[in-house]
Amino acid sequence: MTARDRILNAVRAGLPTPRATPDAIAAEARALLDAPEARRPALAAPGLADSFCAKAAALGTTVARLPDLAALPEAVRGYLADHGLSATLALQPAPSLAVLDWSGIERHSAIAPDEPVALGLARWGIAESGSLVIHSGPDTPILLSFLPLHHIVVLHEDRLLPHLEDYAARTAGEAPPRNAILITGPSGTTDIEGSYVRGAHGPGFLHVILIAPEARPAD
């Protein structure tokens, strides 16, 4: 008998017979998600963007708000200058970013092990927790979010979802990517005497640039 059969047999031996039908199990599982509002935290502020910003700031994420995507390069130049960083950037190879006027900033798509700054797009933001959602894909390397010291993430305000369940609902039934990552604040550790230090392995700085909704081109 294979290990698989031995384990499943042992599990079944501990459970009552007859076993419930898949439909009955699914109905029970759905019922467990009823009334989510009574079992999750309320948003930190009435508006999604305000709630997101409040939560993100509490975690040490910095947030800038821009009227449209065209203003992004200027804002990035400002960020680099403010942090004394040279004008070089690992840029996520996304079409909406590539078309911007990046003059004065050296851009590359390969991410170096000690990359100082990388910039990418978030697929969604979660207002409840100040989280950014990133899915791996052909133009979204996962390491872009983990190797740099400074991680700049562009998030369109109209991609904000209220709660974690709303993200689950949005993606239910879709073929999942290799990685779906919720990023909630810069990398940190409390492993030495519980004292909090940023930049353990991932980025020590997380900067979100929130793009106002009307600026998003219809696609």
Partner 1 sequence: MSHATTRAPFKARADAALADRTLKLAIDRTTGTAEAKRAAALSAFPEFEAARARGKAIKDHVIAHLDHYLEEFERNAIASGARVHWAADDAEARAIVTRICLEADARLVTRAKSMLGEEIGLPHALADAGIERVETDLAEHIIQLAGEAPSHIIWPAMHRTREQVADLFRTGHHPPPAAEDPASMVQSARRELRAKFLGADVGISGANFLVADTGATCTVTNEGNAELTTTPPRIHIVTAGIEKLVPSTAHAFALLRLLVRSATGGEMTQYTTFHCGPKRPGDADGPEEMHIVLVDNGRSRMLADEFRAMLRCIRCGACMNHCVVYRQIGGHAYGGTYPGPMGAVLTPVLDGLAAARDLPHACTMNGRCAEVCPVGIPLPTLLRAWRARSWREGREPGAVRAGLSLWARLATRPRLYRLASRIGVRGLRLFGRGGWIARLPLAGGWTAHRDLPRPEGRTFMEQYRAWQARKGAGR
Query: At closest approach, how far in Å is the CB of 156 from partner 1?
Result: 21
140 DSSP assignment: B
- Does position 39 bind partner 1 by CB under 8 A? yes
| Alpha carbons 208 and 62: distance in angstroms, whole number | 6
Q: Which of residues 52-71 bind partner 1 (CB under 8 A)?
A: 55, 59
| Alpha carbons 215 and 40: distance in angstroms, whole number | 32
Stretch that binds partner 1, among 38-46, 71-79, 83-91, 210-218 (CB under 8 A): 38-46
Q: Name which position in 79, 122, 123, 185 contacts partner 1 (CB under 8 A).
A: 185
Query: At closest approach, how far in Å is the CB of 166 from partner 1?
Result: 9
126 DSSP assignment: E
Q: 72 CB contacts (<8 Å, ≥6 apart)?
A: 66, 97, 100, 154, 209, 211
Strands 88-91 and 106-108, how do they pair?
parallel
Residue whose CB is less far from partner 1, 101 or 109: 109
Residue whose CB is less far from partner 1, 23 or 214: 23
Query: At closest approach, how far in Å is the CB of 63 from partner 1?
Result: 16
Stretch that binds partner 1, among 8-16, 46-54, 62-70, 79-87 (CB under 8 A): 8-16
Query: At closest approach, how far in Å is the CB of 91 from partner 1?
Result: 13
Q: Which of residues 104-123 bind partner 1 (CB under 8 A)?
A: 113-114
Query: At closest approach, how far in Å is the CB of 66 from partner 1?
Result: 24
Q: Which of residues 151-180 bind partner 1 (CB under 8 A)?
A: 164-165, 167-169, 171-172, 176-180
Q: Which of residues 124-153 bind partner 1 (CB under 8 A)?
A: 129, 131, 136-143, 145-147
The residue length of the chain stands at 219
* C-alpha pair distances (Å), 31 with each of 34, 35, 172: 5, 9, 16
CA max distance for the chain = 70
Query: At closest approach, how far in Å is the CB of 142 from partner 1?
Result: 5
Transcribe 54-101 into DSSP letters.
Answer: HHHHHTT-EEEEESSGGGHHHHHHHHHHHTT--SEEEE---HHHHTS-
- Does position 17 bind partner 1 by CB under 8 A? no
